[in-house]
């Protein structure tokens, strides 16, 4: 992780990593359950391609 002198930038870099990590985990879960998405590289692509979850 790149370190910046401003704390708010450190938090943003950490959040970006956390979101990317969560997307990878979701992708693994979906492929294990038989639901596969195309390779998702951004949050926007994931949100565009995901199916609504019925609760």
Instruction: Specify the DSSP element, H or E, that contains 18.
Output: helix 7-32
pLDDT digits (tens, 9 = 90+) for 4-53: 556 565 666 678 888 888 888 888 877 776 655 556 567 777 777 776 66
Q: Kindly state whether residue 30 falls inside one of the protein's structural domains.
A: yes
What is the pLDDT at residue 34? 61
Q: Under 8 Å CB-to-CB from 44, ≥6 apart: which residues? A: none
Kindly state whether residue 19 falls inside one of the protein's structural domains.
yes
Quick one: pLDDT at residue 48?
A: 78
Q: Which two tokens stand for residue 4?
A: 């910046």
Q: Is 54 within the bounds of a domain? A: no
Instruction: Give domain status of residue 1, yes or no.
Output: no
Q: Is residue 22 part of a domain?
A: yes
2: in domain: no
- 3-class secondary structure, 34: coil
Which residues form the domain of 35? Answer: 7-49
Specify the pLDDT at position 28. Answer: 82
Cα 41 to its chain centre, rounded Å, is 8
Q: Could you tell me if residue 25 is inside a domain? A: yes
Structure token pair of residue 30: 């979906």
Number of domains comprising the chain: 1
User: What pLDDT does 20 receive?
Assistant: 86
User: Which residue's structure tokens are 């990317």?
Assistant: 20
């Amino acid at each position: 992780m790149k370190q910046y002198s401003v704390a708010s930038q450190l938090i943003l870099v950490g959040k970006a990593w956390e979101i990317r990590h969560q997307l990878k985990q979701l992708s693994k879960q979906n492929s294990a359950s038989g639901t596969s998405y195309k390779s998702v590289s951004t949050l926007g692509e994931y949100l565009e391609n995901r199916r609504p979850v019925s609760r």
